[in-house]
Structure 1
Amino acid sequence: MNAQLLARYELFRTRDLEEAREQVGRILSPHRLTSPNPRAAFDVRYQYVNLGDTSVMYAEYGGDVVIDPGALESFYLVGMPQAGKTLVHIAGQDIVSRPGYASVQSPTRPLRTTWLDGCRKLTVKIDRCALERHLAQLLGRPLDRPIEFEPLMNVERGPALSWRHMVDFLLSELSGNSALIATPEARRRIEELLMNALLTIQPHSYSDALTTPAGSAAPACIRRVEDYIAANPFQALTLQTLSQVAGVSPRSLQEGFKRYRGVSPIAFVTERRLELARRTLQEGRPHDSVTEVALRCGFFHLGRFAQSYKVRFGETPSETFRRASGRSR
């Protein structure tokens, strides 16, 4: 990729690694940035454009560097070297990413990358919550675990070549004044296309479920329980109560939810209430608190709520509420 394609979106350029670390930490996450050759003459360049739930960036350091952010937590990265290579150590697995071979970095897996041989890289960042929402819509049910991708993607041939073509198209549109991405709705459509393609093309922890998605074929008793859960978001719900609503035995209801929704009825309730809690916290109402929201949404063990919330959304309830409260002032 020609670096000039994103030249109009230059974020910064510096020869100071510490300044680069601080600048990149603002758009990605705090991290350690070191070099095996600290006396090298670095020339760090970052170009960055945010579309909403996704961002595209071009980066080069002008020398070998080691970047250690740990777990990314709140976003995915698809890194495509245009020159040089990146050694990626992710959750105990080592891969080599070079031109034609992208690295796919999942937020729940600890990560360390080493940029070598004049590495220049194009990276697509995807918000974790947005990708999880998109997959849940495709599956027709809530997720019960994080999405974790296989870390290496061949973008030279096969299905993943389509991903690269989509990114190339997006770059060409960004480099000009294209009306195609001038509106929020148009950008949202492109983001959905990128997320859908990544989930379809690159193997991940839900790939099998995507090939046989649960959805509209669910029997009436399952849909009846789902409607009841939606209509009673604050009521204490037990398996016995839900089986009475469904008109089937608790065991039959368990088996039905596992078959058609991939989770147990109680896990389905928990997921819906986590989503409700997040929406409420994102409103940032001044008289609310994390404790009050948790209790209203049916979470009476606050420590367990905070842990489940962070696993699901990549941040604590307090972080969500604090950010929303700051916006509402």
Structure 2
Amino acid sequence: MEPTVPHKKPSGISRFQFENIDAQTLSEHYARFSTGVLIEPLTRRKGIAIEGSHYATGAFQIWSGTCRFGMQAKLLEPPEVFAIYLPHAGGFDVYTGSQRHEYGPDEAFVGDLSTIERIRFQEGRRHTAIAFGRSLVTKQLCELLDTPVSKKLEFSAKLDCSSSAIRRISMASALLWSSLANEPEHIASVKFTEHLFQSLALLLLAVVPHNYSVNLGRPLSPAIPRQVKRAVDFMVSNVSMEITIGDLVRECGCSARSLNAGFLQFKGISPLQYLRQIRLDAVRKDLINAKNQSTISQTAQRWGFTHMGRFAALYRQAFGESPSETVRSSGMRLPRP
């Protein structure tokens, strides 16, 4: 039995080779490299006998291998990543709470690993899997939409491997794998590899259903005018400060009428409405942040809201719930004012 053998590529890409390793060795690998995962064999007499390879760089990972005798992976510290499992043989089951989701040898999994408690791989299971950091995929979504997103991006799909979406993802994955599965001196640069991963993440957003698919399906706008872009940049940089339409006009070097027309055409709302939405999104993000120790009113004031009654009404209008309901649903307990 040989342990996990790590190789650090000259480009900064980490490579791990598995040759007939056992459950303890694989658990230790995850503990060193990723998040806490407890690997257990389905049949203790047989073990797991994993063979395969694992590559990682930055917020991306890709691995491919075979589990000869089956195993179960308990996610002790569920990672904040989206993952794609492309099957080559065998099936596996995903457990979320009391629910069990079965995936056959011709069904691909696309989902959020932070929502999963354990995965059960059948004997002879063989697959290629790709993982993307949640924050990076969310950032790409914001860039595609040209606006911040207020709701958590959610993927949860069981897709037939014969579908157009999985065929396209499989082809892109094969290109990525072939750029990595070479001798160390021939490995592609980390920059090139990251671009391939990013392209695959964009393809994921484009072809796999998620809660922002409808937004992405809308026609793209032409190039945003310079004054609108400058106004947005100014808002983001000074979001907690008092900003008037006069401040925006001076910053952008255009008339109030021109600026308002640009926002209505390219953002669908007025400049000050856009500013308000940025602030509301920032408040909501803080309210569900486990590290936030401020009260609701302190959080609102930090992002430029001075009238609490007006703020509460705007917040409910934007998100369909009160600020306190957001806090309760996230499981947070903020200090009382």
TM-score w.r.t. length of structure 2: 0.64
1:269 aligns with 2:275: no
User: Separation in 2 of the partners of 1:13 and 1:271?
Assistant: 48
Tell me what 1:97 maps to. Answer: 103
In 1, distance between residues paired with 2:147 and 2:110?
Answer: 24
- 1:166 paired residue among 167, 172, 184: 172
Q: Name the CA distance, whole Å, in 2 between partners of 1:111 and 1:86.
A: 14
Distance between the aligned counterparts of 1:210 and 1:179, measured in 2? 40
How far off is 1:141 after superposition? 0.8
- The question of 1:31 aligning with 2:37 is answered yes
Aligned to 1:132: 138
Task: Tell whether 2:217 aligns with 1:207.
Answer: no
The answer to whether the 8 Å contact 1:154/1:160 transfers is yes
- CA displacement at 1:227 relative to structure 2: 3.6
- Asked whether the 8 Å contact 2:53–2:64 carries over to 1, the reply is yes
Spell out structure 1 runs of 4+ moving beyond 6 A: 178-181, 217-222, 255-258, 272-275
User: Aligned equivalents of 2:125 and 2:241: distance in 1?
Assistant: 55
Give aligned pairs, total: 276
CA distance in structure 2 between the aligned counterparts of 1:229 and 1:268, rounded to whole angstroms: 8
SS at match of 1:117: coil
Query: Residue 87 of structure 2: SS of its match in structure 1?
Result: strand
Q: Name stretches of at least 5 consecutive residues in structure 2 with no aligned partner.
A: 1-5, 8-14, 250-255, 258-263, 286-291, 305-322, 331-337
Distance 1:13 1:22 in 2: 15
- Out of 76, 84, 94, the position equivalent to 1:78 is 84
Task: Report how far residue 68 of structure 1 moved.
Answer: 2.1
CA contact 2:92–2:102 (8 Å) conserved in 1: yes
C-alpha distance in structure 2 between counterparts of 1:12 and 1:82, whole Å: 18
Matched with 1:61 is: 67
Please state which structure has a larger fraction of its residues in helix: 1
Whether the 8 Å CA contact 2:42–2:69 is kept in 1: the answer is no
Measured in 1, the distance between the counterparts of 2:78 and 2:219 equals 28
Q: What is aligned with 1:320?
A: none
Higher relative CO (Cα under 8 Å, sequence separation at least 6) belongs to 1
- The structural deviation recorded for 1:136 is 0.7
Structure 2 partner of 1:190? 196
> Which letter does structure 2 place at the counterpart of 1:155?
C
Alignment RMSD, CA only? 4.5
Matched residues in 2 for 1:264 and 1:124: separation? 36
Q: What is the distance in 2 between the residues matched to 1:118 and 1:57? A: 16
Question: Matched residues in 1 for 2:302 and 2:219: separation?
Answer: 29
Deviations 1:2-45 (A, max 9, x none): xxxxx994434455322321212333321333344222233133
Q: After alignment, is 127-136 or 54-63 more displaced?
A: 54-63
Matched residue, 1:143: 149
Partner Cα separation in structure 2 for residue 198 and residue 129 of structure 1:
15
- Cα 1:72–1:209 shift into 2, 3 Å: farther
- TM-score, normalised to structure 1, is 0.66
Q: Where in structure 2 are the equivalents of 1:9-48 lying within 5 Å?
A: 9-13=15-19, 15-48=21-54
In the alignment, what sits opposite 2:121? 115
Percent of aligned pairs with the same amino acid: 17
Q: Partners in 2 of 1:132 and 1:169 — Cα distance? A: 24
* Partner-residue secondary structure (3-state), 2:141: helix
Q: Which residue is equivalent to 1:315?
A: none
Task: Look up the equivalent residue of 1:188 and give its one-letter code.
Answer: E
Alignment CA distance shift 1:243-1:26 (3 Å): farther
Cα distance between partner residues in 1 of 2:19 and 2:280: 46
Q: What are the residue-to-residue correspondences of 1:226-245 with 2, within 5 Å? A: 226-235=232-241
Judged with a 3 Å threshold, the aligned counterparts in structure 2 of structure 1 residues 271 and 40 are, in CA distance, closer, same or farther, namely same
| CA shift for structure 1 position 61 | 3.4
Q: 1:266 to 1:33 in 2, by over 3 A?
A: farther
* In structure 1, C-alpha distance between the alignment counterparts of 2:162 and 2:184, rounded to whole Å: 27
Judging changes above 3 Å, is the alpha-carbon distance between structure 1 residues 70 and 17 closer, same or farther for their aligned structure 2 residues? closer
Q: How does 1:174-323 map to 2 (within 5 A)?
A: 174-176=180-182, 182-212=188-218, 226-235=232-241, 265-269=275-279, 271=281, 298=302
Check 1:266–1:109 CA distance in 2 against 1; reply closer, same or farther (3 A cut): farther
Aligned to 1:317: none
Larger C-alpha radius of gyration, 1 or 2?
A: 2
Report the Cα distance in structure 1 between the residues aligned to 2:206 and 2:269, rounded to whole angstroms: 20
